[in-house]
């Protein structure tokens, strides 16, 4: 998140006020890939929907283009970034997912950027496919929550559950709290690098970890070694010790395919063979982040697939 955004109760109320005004206005924006965003943002704004230009495409705007009340809320929230003479752009972005509005970072190179993008939509769809509405879950955790997509979707589907959201990034936890408040949901946030401290156990853990190799230091991209799978696999090993009997871990991640071999699937099969866990594995999208294959870390990789895995602890 842009460091200039004040972390005060007054700023938080202003951010919630912005979400309220956008919802009343029928705001709807689906976040594309960074490359698509760059391409569309370079085009001239049509002027048909100023709110989408400001909070979706993050285009520069003049104060007289929007309602004065909205401009005042943006100023109070610290969202106004100067962009030329008498022009501004928003320091945060707002996207619509599952009929909910989510505050998250505008396109930036900052290491603490709070990610929401096409993977978030696939992750939400996976959760909805796996979890039946009203699933009997008492305690759930969204591990590495980011903007809170996993936690909010789980709370929607499991209304009686105590849902926790953990993240190493304080900026993310702040936005999780605000996004949950706007949605009228009670999500409990925990600052943790990986799984929160024991002894807490959960009937459900969901995770959408970073999975890009060689992106050192970028909180929401760096997946570590093993072609970017190291972090995801480490989280799985930690989580299976904290899921109650009969409980599940739902993982959405990217898997490098090397000479036809899915390295994530092979690692999870080896783990389940050793531990007795049950595995349901699906390739959701066969080819994502194709441009990443130009990086040195992927010189042996033929494609990166988006995958979903459900690991069930025997009851």
As given in the structure block, the two tokens for residue 121 are 């939509």
Arithmetic mean of pLDDT, 101-122: 91
**Dihedrals φ, ψ of 9, to 5°?**
-55, -40
* Confidence label for 4 from pLDDT (cuts 50, 70 and 90): low
Asked whether the predicted pLDDT for residue 155 surpasses 70, the reply is yes
Q: Tell me, what DSSP letter sits at residue 234? A: H
Map tokens 């390739």 to a residue: 283
pLDDT value for 1: 43
Asked whether the predicted pLDDT for residue 20 surpasses 50, the reply is yes
pLDDT value for 148: 98
pLDDT value for 214: 64
- Count helices and strands in the chain by DSSP H and E runs: 10, 12
pLDDT 10s digits, 179-215: 999 999 999 999 998 899 877 899 999 999 999 886 5
Spell out the SS3 assignment of 64-108: HHCCHHHHHHHHHHCCEEECCCCCEEECEEEEEECCEEEEEECCC
pLDDT value for 224: 54
Give CA–CA dist 222/191, Å, rounded: 19
- pLDDT above 90 covers a percentage of the chain that reads 77
Domains in the chain, CATH or no CATH each: 9-100 (no CATH), 112-312 (3.40.50.150)
Checking phi first, is residue 98 left (phi over 0); if not, alpha (psi -120 to 50) or beta?
left
Residue 182 · residue 188 · CB < 8 Å: no
Q: Tell me, what DSSP letter sits at residue 192? A: -
* Confidence label for 223 from pLDDT (cuts 50, 70 and 90): very low
pLDDT value for 222: 45
pLDDT 10s digits, 236-286: 999 999 999 999 999 999 999 999 999 999 999 999 999 999 999 999 999
* Confidence label for 67 from pLDDT (cuts 50, 70 and 90): very high
- pLDDT above 70 covers a percentage of the chain that reads 95
Question: Of 24-28, 47-51, 139-143, 221-225, which range is least confident?
Answer: 221-225
Rg of the chain over all Cα atoms, to the nearest angstrom: 20
Give CA–CA dist 216/218, Å, rounded: 6
Residue 307 · residue 288 · CB < 8 Å: no
Give CA–CA dist 23/100, Å, rounded: 9
Beta bridge mates, 140: 163, 204
pLDDT value for 279: 98
């Amino acid at each position: 998140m842009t460091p200039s955004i004040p972390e005060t109760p007054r700023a938080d109320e202003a951010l919630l006020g912005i979400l309220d005004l956008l919802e009343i206005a029928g705001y709807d924006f689906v976040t594309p890939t960074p490359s698509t965003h760059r391409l569309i943002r370079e085009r001239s704004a049509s002027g048909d929907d100023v709110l989408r230009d400001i909070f979706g495409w993050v285009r520069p705007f003049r104060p007289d283009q929007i309602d004065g009340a909205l401009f005042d809320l943006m100023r109070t929230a610290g969202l106004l970034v100067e962009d030329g003479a008498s022009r501004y752009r928003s320091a945060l972005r707002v996207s619509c997912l599952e009929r909910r509005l989510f505050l998250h970072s505008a396109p930036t190179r900052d290491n603490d950027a709070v990610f929401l993008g096409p993977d978030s939509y696939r992750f939400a769809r996976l959760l909805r496919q796996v979890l039946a509405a009203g699933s009997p879950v008492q305690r759930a955790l969204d591990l590495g929550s980011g903007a809170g997509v996993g936690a909010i979707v789980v709370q929607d589907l499991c209304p009686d559950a105590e849902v926790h959201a953990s993240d190493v990034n304080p900026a993310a936890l702040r936005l999780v709290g605000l996004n949950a408040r706007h949605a009228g949901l009670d999500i409990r946030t925990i600052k943790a690098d990986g799984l929160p401290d024991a002894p807490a156990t959960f009937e459900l853990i969901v995770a959408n970890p970073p999975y890009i190799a060689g992106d050192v230091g970028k909180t929401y991209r760096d997946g570590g070694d093993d072609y970017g799978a190291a972090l995801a696999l480490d989280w799985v090993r930690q989580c299976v010790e904290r899921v109650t009997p009969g409980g599940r871990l739902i993982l959405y991640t990217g898997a490098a395919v090397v000479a036809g071999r899915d390295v994530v699937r092979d690692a999870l099969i080896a783990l389940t063979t050793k531990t007795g866990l049950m595995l349901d594995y699906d390739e959701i999208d066969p080819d994502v982040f194709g441009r990443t294959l130009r990086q040195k870390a992927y010189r042996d990789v033929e494609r990166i697939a988006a995958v979903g895995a459900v690991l069930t602890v025997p009851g």
